[in-house]
Amino acid sequence: MKIHSIPFVAVTIVCACAASPALGDPLLITGGSLQFPAFGPRSPSPPYGFGLLGEDTRLYGVTFDRFASSERIGSVVRFSRTVSLTSRYFGPFEETLEGVHFSDVELIGLLTLTAEPVVVSSGDRIFEFPFTMTGMVSIFERFGSAEPLLTRALIGQGVGRIGAGEEIEPGVVRIGGAFLDFRPAPLSPTPEPATLVLVAGGLAALWRRRHSRRSTHVGGV
């Protein structure tokens, strides 16, 4: 079945956020995870795989975000951030969204994560914190049109964990990274259209970067 493409420019998204079913009714993410290894020689190099799961939905790709490798005892760690997602270059090049399977495609997205702050204490332990997520993803044909096949708003929440280890110097502990697990818990109300506009604007910037790099690559062949 052919899916009609949606023009993916900032002006169109601003107009469509309040009216488009694809953007107005966020898809609930109930499973999957994100990982943010710490900087340092003991940590794996990016990219890092992610999975977002929902009803008849399986979205996969990579992120490049990392986490601080150490924190001072007594410091407040604020995890809230915006994370970019992609499957370009790294795959997988198949995605399933609400029962529709897409082959030979690329995913680009942005997630805004809001989390409770954590106070770091001494001793090996795991610090847990609740988080909520709003975001958007777009699916593009590989080597095809610069317009997405589909753009979808997302929402979800779960529990994050930050691992703290031994003291590496007086008053400073090693951090092993942060890991976020999505869970099918009751959610906050659907985000306001203005919030979706902000997220869409960031996603549009990612798209412009993607299209610019592809045009430069083609021009240099």
Give the least confident one: 20-29, 88-97, 126-135. 20-29
Residue linked to tokens 């795991």 = 126
Query: What are the tokens at 200?
Result: 């869409």
Report the percentage of the chain scoring pLDDT > 70: 71
Domain map (residue ranges) of the chain? 10-215
Specify which of 25-34, 61-70, 167-176 reaches the highest per-range mean pLDDT: 25-34
Tell me the mean pLDDT in the region 119-127: 81
Whether this prediction's pTM lies above 0.85 is answered by no
Give the model's pLDDT for residue 83: 95
